């Protein structure tokens, strides 16, 4: 009897362990599909290179001041204009797959007809949506004049710029002017390609800028 009882308990324990493992797997999958691992332009190694200069200083300032995530976390429309329109959404067209190319294309409707207006968009100022350190990649493909803004937890990409208002390695705060909209690289007209990445579980993962206020103030 004793031996049999012991075996029964062992089987129950085994079943409980299997159940817990299954639940753990389900929970893990629940949080995974939203995003995926960044897989281009050198991946995490390239990001490490971006993070190489002076990031710790920024992070320390954050923790002493208003705290991480408020200013470190991307928030708002990088064009800061109520007549911003989205010319290509997240994860569609050239923004697919979102895990690699996810982002949104933003332009200005200068004449109020509801559509992007090249004259109103070209050279429009671009503003940092969070605190970070600048990494410039001029004349790249497909991003043209590209700008990364990175800190320990977040980074944002700004592509196809006409020009830069900051220098490589410069630390900037949210709201600072960083560049001007253009149509450099693989682009059919003046617009800002804007993307957001989060450092999570040891790698950078792409998220939709629409959940970080990219169209704030536009009524969209």
| Interacting residues toward Zn ion by CB under 5 A | 105, 193
What is the chain written as a DSSP string?
A: -HHHHHHHHHHHHHHHHHHHHHHHHHHHHHHSTT--B--STTHHHHHHHHTTTTHHHHHHHHHHTT-TTTTTS--S-TT--TTEEEEE-TTSGGG-SHHHH--EEEEE-TTSSSS--HHHHTT-EEE-SS-EEEEEEEEETTTEEEEEEE-SSEEEEEEEEEEESS-TT-EE-TT-EEEEEB--SS-SSSBEEEEEEEEETTEEEEE-GGGGTTTTTTT-
Shortest distance (Å) from residue 205 CB to Zn ion: 18
Q: Is 191 a catalytic residue?
A: yes
What's the rounded Cα separation, in Å, for the pair 181 and 163?
A: 7
Shortest distance (Å) from residue 111 CB to Zn ion: 23
Catalytic residue among 124, 130, 160, 191: 191
Shortest distance (Å) from residue 45 CB to Zn ion: 24
Nearer to Zn ion, 155 or 193 (CB): 193
Residue nearest to Zn ion (CB): 193
Shortest distance (Å) from residue 168 CB to Zn ion: 23
Shortest distance (Å) from residue 122 CB to Zn ion: 16
Nearer to Zn ion, 133 or 193 (CB): 193
Nearer to Zn ion, 71 or 105 (CB): 105
Nearer to Zn ion, 105 or 131 (CB): 105
Q: Which two tokens stand for residue 7?
A: 């075996």
Q: In Å, what is the CA distance from 24 to each residue of 15, 16, 19, 220?
A: 14, 12, 9, 38
Nearer to Zn ion, 105 or 109 (CB): 105
Which positions are annotated as active-site residues?
A: 191
């Amino acid at each position: 009897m004793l031996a049999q009882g012991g075996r029964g308990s062992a089987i129950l324990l085994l079943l409980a362990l299997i159940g817990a493992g299954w639940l753990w797997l389900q929970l893990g999958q629940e949080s995974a599909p939203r995003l995926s691992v960044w897989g281009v332009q050198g991946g995490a190694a390239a990001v490490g290179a971006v993070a190489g200069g002076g990031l710790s200083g920024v992070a320390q300032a954050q923790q002493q001041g208003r705290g991480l995530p408020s200013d470190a976390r991307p928030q708002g429309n990088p064009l800061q204009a109520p007549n911003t329109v989205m010319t290509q959404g997240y994860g569609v067209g050239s923004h697919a797959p979102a895990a690699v190319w996810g982002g949104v294309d933003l332009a200005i409707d200068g004449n109020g007809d509801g559509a992007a207006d090249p004259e109103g968009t070209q050279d429009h100022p671009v503003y940092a949506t969070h605190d970070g350190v600048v990494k410039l990649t001029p004349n790249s493909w497909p991003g043209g004049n590209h700008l990364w803004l990175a800190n320990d937890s977040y980074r944002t990409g700004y592509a196809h710029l006409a020009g830069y208002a900051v220098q490589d390695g410069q630390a900037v705060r949210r709201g600072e002017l960083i560049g001007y909209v253009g149509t450099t690289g693989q682009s059919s007209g003046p617009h800002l390609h804007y993307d957001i990445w989060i450092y999570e579980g040891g790698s950078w993962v792409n998220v939709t800028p629409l959940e970080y206020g990219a169209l704030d103030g536009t009524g969209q």
